[in-house]
Amino acid sequence: MRNSLLAISASILLGTFATSCSDSSTPQTPEAPGYVIDMHISNTSMDSAFLYELAQDGWELKDSVKGDSGKFHFEGQIEGANYLAVGDRKRNYSVRLMADNSTITITGNFEKPGEETVTGSPAHSEYLAIQDSMTVFSSTMENLIEKYNAAEGTDDTAAMSSIESEYHLYEKLKDKWLKGWVQANPKSYVAQFYMINPLSYQLSTEELREMFDGMAPEVNNSQMYATLSNKLAILENSAVGQIAPEFTMNDTDGNPVTLSSQFGNYLLIDFWASWCGPCRMENPHMVELYNEYHPKGYDVLGVSLDRDKDKWLAAIAKDNLTWNHVSDLGFWNNAAAKLYGVSSIPHTVLIDPQGKIIARGLSGDELEAKLAELFASEIQ
């Protein structure tokens, strides 16, 4: 009953926000020769600032400038719009923004990261509006993670299970809302950004291809469009029905493990990390399913996006993850994650005994239902 009431109230919120957002028109990129970014960050000794752009292989350095008293000036050209990060070399401090060929002003305080003000970019204004609209979902999901961690601290497994189900409900509602907004705004560069992250790992490859092909021709000049095209090619190579792309990675003892050596049973590739709250929240259910179905022919291969081996090993032990684990400790540059187009975790890829991918992105009740279906058919 609690979940039913939650679903009803969340769907009401969904309808309200979908209407208010889809009614607003998409700002157009100004017809300007290029962008100007003036940045003034107080309380910092930074004498240089670095500009990164989101590219096909992640963040790439685009420019660097000298400055004085936290004042920095950038000029350049963007095709359409792109997601940028401006900050120091080590990225201990950075400001994220959606930029176009406009005159953009960034003001902030080095001691208060995340409270910066960005003005002058229509694309960034649109981005902020969408972020605000999704607050009803994201803030609730953050609170649920905190509640889950508290329940875990008292070993309240019933509460943990309930919170996990509620979290997945809000996650699905958020994705449904965002998908609707993107489909309603085919001329938006910001829509391209949300197709890259998070929709590219929440939707099926077929759904993503349909959305990509529905983008207006006048916005196919951006770096984000090229990134999406490349990402789709990767996802289609590792889509349901394809043979799982091969990779080799070291296990916890430093021994190389080849993916195909794990074939023979139903195999779940679980992309996760010790630092990923939703991953850790999912692990107790993963353990339950493994204990139930492993004797029947089900295996898991954990692929960690950690970069600290000690923390990786500690999480495996604490969460009682008794299956095989591999990692190259490459963080978001993990070779297997890039091969499978994984841009957010947790993410799963389910493979049949012959090595064919039969599902992607299953978690929680969906994964449980799929395993029940598979092993029911095996018995018959």
- Region of poorest pLDDT, from 31-35, 108-112, 298-302, 311-315: 31-35
Q: What is the pLDDT of residue 360?
A: 92
Q: What is the pLDDT of residue 11?
A: 32
CA distance 318 to 315: 5
Q: What is the pLDDT of residue 23?
A: 29
CA distance 334 to 344: 12
Q: Per-residue confidence at 260, pLDDT binned at 50, 70, 90?
A: very high
pLDDT in tens, 285-324: 999 999 999 999 999 999 999 999 999 999 999 999 999 9
Q: What is the pLDDT of residue 349?
A: 96
CA distance 248 to 14: 43
CA distance 263 to 259: 7
pLDDT over 90 percentage in the chain: 69
Write b or e for each residue in 273-305: b if 16 or more Cβ atoms lie within 10 A of its Cβ, otherwise e: bbbbbbbbbbbbbbbebbeebeeeebbbbbbbb
Q: What is the pLDDT of residue 45?
A: 86
How many H helices and E strands in the chain? Answer: 12, 15
pLDDT over 70 percentage in the chain: 90
CA distance 122 to 109: 23
Q: What is the pLDDT of residue 378?
A: 63
Q: What domains appear along the chain, each with residue ranges and CATH number?
A: 2-24+131-237 (no CATH), 35-126 (2.60.40), 248-379 (3.40.30.10)
